[in-house]
């Protein structure tokens, strides 16, 4: 029955072989989303129907888009003895101590690319020159500011980084375009390939702990953790001016310091403040540290889920969806009163009795890394604003300087930050829109970038990040755009016109890829794709988020079984429960700042934008946008 359904002419011919592997029930569910996809309107459905569509999609992705890579080599352990987040991410999965720890494999959301194209086809520098290089800065309007941009780097540095090989590779721009390249040739380390995987011959390793465990401030292993702790009263190290401390070379001391810049290190410092503000009388240093880490990590996860993502994907359906992930369909009030009742839909993923990994051990995936390649969010210049007005209510601060972004990065950026101070930096970031994720928006200063080693030191070889990112996806066997869509059960494109209606883009794609839509690189497709109204990212990238954003919460013992007062303490849980947004954290540490400098609702929108309008229609009953 399932086989005859999957050969139905209703299904796009290129999706039939994927659907043929589904159960009958899932095939029927697939029919529903495929029907909606053909009409291209899930995002125009009323909130409840939109949620139903996303629920079905997420279910299918959980069944067919989670592939484990590598062996499962861990051991059973006593979970009761580890009711805290360990330094290297071990002892979180209830049945295996290694899953999710530092140095484990990246998983996959689909098999490695099946493509016939070579690593240099077309040459990454040609793609970078003709499709990525920024010709004019285009911002995200008022939707997303520089805090939002830094926030996602802050989260990336909590979750993922590929282990490198010791061997280098050199990319040389072909003669025809070499003159137009900031670097005619450049060297970088290959991604380390490790064998021993069930679905792939080789896989790569994550040097960060993939759990949402705050490793960006706490470190990814015992050494990293020791560097940041004071070993007194559970505190983390922080300088007197409220910013990060630095070592004798001027490198900041924090959990992850690779490719740091002023905005990123400011967020690290803010969350060190958050950690240090927690206080549990009677606890010794170790106990206090462990509790404050649990609570701060949960605050990070919560802000990302119900504040940052809601601003990234500004629609009623996503607002409802993200709140359901945290609080459930019944909402915060009911959950506060009755606790977690009735399963994940009614009460959310947080607080589930047991973690759920859908039969596939938790990891973050190669495809997740690829869809988070969002360097186009970074502008060319950082706009510094003055904050010395005496007004007490909202005011737009004047611009005092426009600093090239390169000067805000690395050690120079740290010097700048310490001159400016935390308050002025935060207000300036709040008022500056970040870049849009579009073609021709890749920061030009990143095409000649000094990358960092894992210990934050400058490397001797500059890199062209735009070209390197194209190479990375190909090197790691990430499917190109159209294959990626098919694997995500999306309707593939058959011409450039299916991707975009911008003439200029179509012409440029034709110039680089001819008529071969299969050749289109993933990064280029994600940047060129016509966006859903309110979304700052592409729909294709979003479907990976839909799967992984839930997974980061539901697979983690400390957001499920152990999200309780026994593990967090009553006070700790209350801290998490009372913190809803980044604004709450800013208000805690800088009282008066948002009142004076922020007009909008979320700290991730441009601060001089209008606050959200009050709508009297209940969220779930809101009609089509």
Q: Which residues bind ligand HEM (CB under 6 A)?
A: 149, 152-153, 156, 160-162, 188, 259, 261, 369, 372-375, 377-378, 409, 451, 468, 472
Cα 288 to Cα 276: distance, rounded to the nearest angstrom: 10
Is the Cβ of residue 161 or residue 407 nearer to ligand HEM in the bound state? 161
CA atoms within 13 A on the CB side of 612: 15
Q: Are 516 and 492 in contact (CB under 8 A)?
A: no
Binding residues for heme b: 375
Q: What is the CA radius of gyration of the chain?
A: 24
Cα 557 to Cα 326: distance, rounded to the nearest angstrom: 15
Taking the complex as a whole, the smallest distance from the CB of residue 308 to ligand HEM amounts, in Å, to: 11
Is the Cβ of residue 30 or residue 159 nearer to ligand HEM in the bound state? 159
Taking the complex as a whole, the smallest distance from the CB of residue 340 to ligand HEM amounts, in Å, to: 31
328 torsion bin: left (phi>0), alpha (psi -120 to 50), beta (else): left
- Which residues are the active-site residues? 372
Beta strands in 258-333, from DSSP E residues, in sequence order:
none
Taking the complex as a whole, the smallest distance from the CB of residue 373 to ligand HEM amounts, in Å, to: 5
Cα 147 to Cα 253, 270, 331, 463, 520, distances in angstroms? 21, 12, 28, 26, 32
Cα 592 to Cα 395: distance, rounded to the nearest angstrom: 12
Which residues is 252 bridged to in the sheet?
Answer: 246
Binding residues: 375
Which residues is 434 bridged to in the sheet?
Answer: none
Taking the complex as a whole, the smallest distance from the CB of residue 162 to ligand HEM amounts, in Å, to: 4
Is the Cβ of residue 508 or residue 546 nearer to ligand HEM in the bound state? 546
Three-state DSSP class for 550? Answer: helix
Exposure of 1 by Cβ count < 10 A (0-12 exposed, 13-18 middle, 19+ buried)? exposed
Taking the complex as a whole, the smallest distance from the CB of residue 545 to ligand HEM amounts, in Å, to: 12
Is the Cβ of residue 321 or residue 435 nearer to ligand HEM in the bound state? 435
Cα 45 to Cα 53: distance, rounded to the nearest angstrom: 9
Taking the complex as a whole, the smallest distance from the CB of residue 474 to ligand HEM amounts, in Å, to: 12
Is the Cβ of residue 261 or residue 607 nearer to ligand HEM in the bound state? 261
Three-state DSSP class for 400? Answer: strand
Please tell me the chain's helix, strand, coil percentages from 3-state DSSP, rounded to the nearest 5.
Answer: 45, 10, 45
Query: What's CA 503's distance to the chain center, in Å?
Result: 31
Neighbours of 504 (CB within 10 A): 10
Is the Cβ of residue 12 or residue 552 nearer to ligand HEM in the bound state? 552
């Amino acid at each position: 029955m399932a086989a005859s359904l999957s050969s139905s002419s209703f299904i796009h011919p290129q999706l039939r072989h994927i659907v043929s592997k589904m159960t009958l029930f899932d095939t029927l569910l697939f029919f529903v989303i495929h029907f909606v996809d053909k009409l291209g309107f899930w995002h125009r459905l009323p909130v409840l129907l939109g949620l139903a569509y996303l629920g079905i999609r997420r279910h299918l992705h959980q069944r067919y888009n989670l592939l484990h890579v590598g062996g499962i080599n861990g051991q059973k352990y006593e979970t009761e003895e580890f009711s805290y987040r360990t330094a290297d991410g071990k002892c979180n999965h209830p049945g295996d101590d290694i899953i999710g720890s530092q140095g484990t494999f990246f998983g996959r959301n689909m098999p490695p690319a099946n493509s016939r194209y070579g690593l240099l086809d077309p040459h990454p520098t040609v793609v970078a020159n003709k499709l990525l290089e920024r010709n004019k800065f285009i911002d995200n309007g008022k939707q997303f500011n520089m805090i939002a941009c830094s926030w996602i780097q802050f989260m990336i540095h909590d979750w993922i980084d590929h282990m490198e090989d010791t061997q280098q590779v050199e990319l040389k721009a072909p003669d025809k375009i070499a003159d137009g390249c900031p670097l005619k040739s450049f060297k970088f380390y290959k991604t380390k390939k490790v064998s021993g995987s069930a679905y792939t011959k080789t896989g790569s390793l994550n040097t960060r702990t993939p759990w949402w465990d705050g490793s960006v401030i706490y470190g990814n292993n015992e050494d990293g953790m020791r560097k940041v702790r004071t070993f007194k009263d559970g505190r983390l190290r922080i300088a007197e001016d409220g910013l990060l401390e630095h070592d004798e070379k001027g490198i900041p001391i924090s959990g992850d310091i690779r490719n740091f810049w002023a905005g990123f290190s400011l967020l690290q410092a803010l969350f060190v403040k958050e950690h240090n503000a927690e206080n549990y009388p009677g606890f010794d240093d170790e106990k206090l540290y462990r509790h404050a880490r649990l609570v701060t990590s949960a605050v990070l996860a919560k802000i990302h889920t119900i504040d940052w993502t809601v601003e990234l994907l500004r629609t009623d359906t996503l607002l409802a969806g993200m709140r359901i992930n945290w609080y459930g369909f019944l909402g915060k009030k009911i959950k506060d009163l009755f606790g977690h009742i009735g399963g994940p839909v009614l009460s959310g993923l947080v607080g589930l009795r047991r973690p759920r990994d859908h039969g596939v051990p938790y990891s973050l995936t190669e495809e997740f890394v690829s869809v988070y390649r969002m360097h186009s969010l970074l502008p060319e210049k950082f706009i510094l604003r003055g904050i010395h007005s005496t007004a007490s209510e909202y005011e737009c601060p004047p611009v005092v300087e426009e600093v090239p972004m390169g000067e805000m990065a690395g050690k120079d950026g740290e010097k700048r930050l310490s001159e400016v101070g935390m308050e002025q930096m935060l207000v300036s970031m709040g008022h500056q829109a970040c870049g849009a994720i579009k073609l021709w928006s890749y920061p030009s200063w990143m095409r000649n970038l000094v990358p960092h080693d894992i210990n934050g030191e400058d490397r001797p070889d500059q890199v062209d990040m735009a070209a390197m990112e194209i190479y990375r996806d190909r090197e790691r066997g990430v499917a190109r755009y159209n294959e990626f869509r098919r694997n995500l059960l999306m309707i593939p494109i058959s011409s450039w016109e299916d991707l975009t209606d911008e003439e200029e883009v179509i012409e440029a794609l034709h110039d680089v890829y001819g008529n071969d839509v299969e050749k289109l690189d993933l990064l280029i497709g994600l940047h060129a794709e016509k966006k859903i109204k309110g979304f700052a990212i592409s729909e294709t990238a979003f479907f990976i988020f839909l799967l992984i954003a839930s997974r980061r919460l539901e697979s983690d013992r400390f957001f499920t079984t152990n999200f309780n007062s026994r593990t967090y303490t009553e006070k700790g849980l209350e801290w998490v429960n009372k913190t809803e947004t980044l604004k709450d954290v800013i208000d805690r540490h800088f009282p008066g700042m948002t009142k004076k400098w922020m007009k909008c609702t979320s700290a991730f929108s441009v601060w001089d934008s209008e606050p959200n309008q009050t709508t009297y229609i209940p969220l779930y009953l809101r009609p089509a946008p």
